[in-house]
Structure 1
Amino acid sequence: MFEAVIFDMDGLLIDSEPFWRTAEKEVFGSLGIQVRDDLAVQTSRMTTREVTEYWYNYKPWKQRGLHEVEQEVIDRVGELIDHKGTMMPGVIELIQYFKKLGCKIGLATNSPYCLVPKVLKKLEIEEYFDSTISADFVEKPKPYPDIYLKTALELDVRAAKCIVFEDSKSGISAALAAGMRVVAVPESGKFYDQGFDIADIKIRKLNDFCDKHMKMLNLAG
């Protein structure tokens, strides 16, 4: 019997992935960098610090410090969340499903922690979460297991008793490395990408998850 469920944030709870691309193109573009889509794919699962360092190494600038530029990206994403943020399908239904089962609810994200309360408030789901952890609180972000292990510790639940919902390969790898069961929810265009097949279960959207999948996870455990 599982005791906790842990959710990723960007692209899983909130449709915010386009916001990061917009913010990076605007901020790094102001520094004379053309954020090419093929390179942006490589940075999409990095932390904001790693992304900033990536583009600095790609084409160094002198106008502003790295921390200042990183914060500009974060602030711009925060503005877009406030004005345009929308909930992904099935979020409320799935959270309530696990609440009825008596599970604790956690959040584990590579995003800066300052965006976590902003997202939860925007989606009006703050009261559901028992723990929220970001890459700010661990030494190594996803794909390392640190974030998920710390979330389990905060929830006071053994890793083997946690189910994780993830939309990225790096997040799936992190949760599996932590010893948790993982449900992959890839974005629509990547559903058949075999890289997501390492997860225990793969579904198209959150509200596809049902008792059948719980039974599968329990049997796998």
Structure 2
Amino acid sequence: MIKGVIFDMDGLMFDTERLSFRFWKQAGEKIGYEIPEEMVEGFRGRNRASIGKEILDIYGSEFDFDLFEKYKTQAQIQYMEENGVPIKPGLLVLLEYLKEKQIKMAVATSTNQELADWMLEMAQVSAYFDTFVYGNRVERSKPNPDIFLKAAEELHLPMEECLVLEDSIAGVEAGKRAGGYIIHIPDIIVVPEEVKVGITAEMESLEEVISWIEHANQSV
């Protein structure tokens, strides 16, 4: 029985991974560093502490990570103030369905809390959710399962009654390790087949999730 759904945010709810990629690169250039594309790709699904540690391990303590993150966040907010938050197909319909069925909802995102809160409010979806868990609220970043376990705890549900929706490699790994149901919705990063072994399902978009939940809950 699915009693709770835990949403990743970037790349799952919002089509923002392409934006993040661009703005991390721009932020690096602004402070005088060329950030390799493969490094930026590796940021996906990971929290601030994990990204910061990797950057400082590579570039040393002279790298101003706080400024780097600040420039990236400012550029992303400016873009979305002008263009809106790009919402993924099927998100609003899914949120309305879950609300109608009284299925609890959580956001579990590695994005920093200030930016995540701003985006959720800007997209006018905050009110749907029962709780929000950010990367800074757990010790270990995805691919560890901590953020999803924390979300289930705050929904007051066992993980076995929760469905995790994810797009990234680290997120899919974390969802599998958490022990609930995990559906992969592809975004711009190709998740290797070996990572997808053991997931509950893969779907093209959020629009398909409703029928899966209907079937899962009717089967109980």
TM over 0.5: yes
> Is the 8 Å Cα contact of residues 31 and 61 (structure 1) preserved in structure 2?
no
TM-score normalized by the length of structure 2: 0.87
2:158 counterpart letter in structure 1: R
Q: Does the 8 Å CA contact 1:16/1:81 hold for their aligned counterparts? A: no
After superposing the two structures, state which structure 1 stretch, 124-133 or 25-34, moved more.
25-34
2:125: which partner in 1? 125
Distance 1:171 1:137, change over 3 A: same
Q: Which runs of 5+ in 2 are unaligned?
A: none
How far apart are the structure 1 equivalents of 2:131 and 2:44?
A: 24
Q: Report the equivalent of 1:71.
A: 70
Question: Share of identical aligned residues, percent?
Answer: 23
Q: 1:81 to 1:51 in 2, by over 3 A?
A: farther
For 1:164 and 1:17, the matched residues in 2 are separated by 19
Q: Give, in whole Å, the separation in 1 of the partners of 2:154 and 2:12.
A: 21
1:87 corresponds in structure 2 to 87
Once residues 177 and 189 of structure 1 are traced to their aligned partners in structure 2, the CA distance between those partners, rounded to angstroms, is 20
TM alignment of 1:14-53, pairs within 5 A = 14-53=14-53
Contact 2:90 / 2:206 at 8 angstroms: preserved in 1? Answer: yes
The 2-side partners of 1:83 and 1:196 are apart by: 37
**TM-score between the two structures when normalised by the length of structure 1:** 0.87
Shift of 1:35: 2.0
Give 1:58 deviation, angstroms. Answer: 2.9
In structure 1, how many angstroms separate the alpha carbons of the residues matched to 2:163 and 2:122? Answer: 24
RMSD across aligned C-alpha pairs, in angstroms? 2.5
Secondary structure in structure 2 of the residue aligned to 1:209 = helix
Relative to structure 1, the CA distance from residue 206 to residue 149 in structure 2 (aligned partners, 3 Å threshold; closer, same or farther) is: same
Could you tell me how far apart the structure 2 residues matched to 1:168 and 1:148 are?
A: 14
Q: Secondary structure at the match of 1:190?
A: coil
* Residue number in structure 1 paired with 2:199: 199
The CA deviation at 1:131 is: 0.5
SS at match of 2:105: strand
Corresponding residue number in structure 2 for 1:137: 137
For 1:32 and 1:61, how far apart are their aligned partners in 2?
15
User: How far apart, CA to CA, are the structure 2 residues paired with 1:81 and 1:198?
Assistant: 36
When residues 34 and 218 of structure 1 are mapped into structure 2, their CA distance, relative to the original with a 3 A threshold, is farther
Secondary structure at the residue paired with 2:204? coil
Residue equivalent to 1:10: 10
Alignment length, in residue pairs? 219
Distance 1:49 1:74 in 2: 16
Please state how far the C-alpha of 1:20 moved relative to its aligned partner. Answer: 1.5
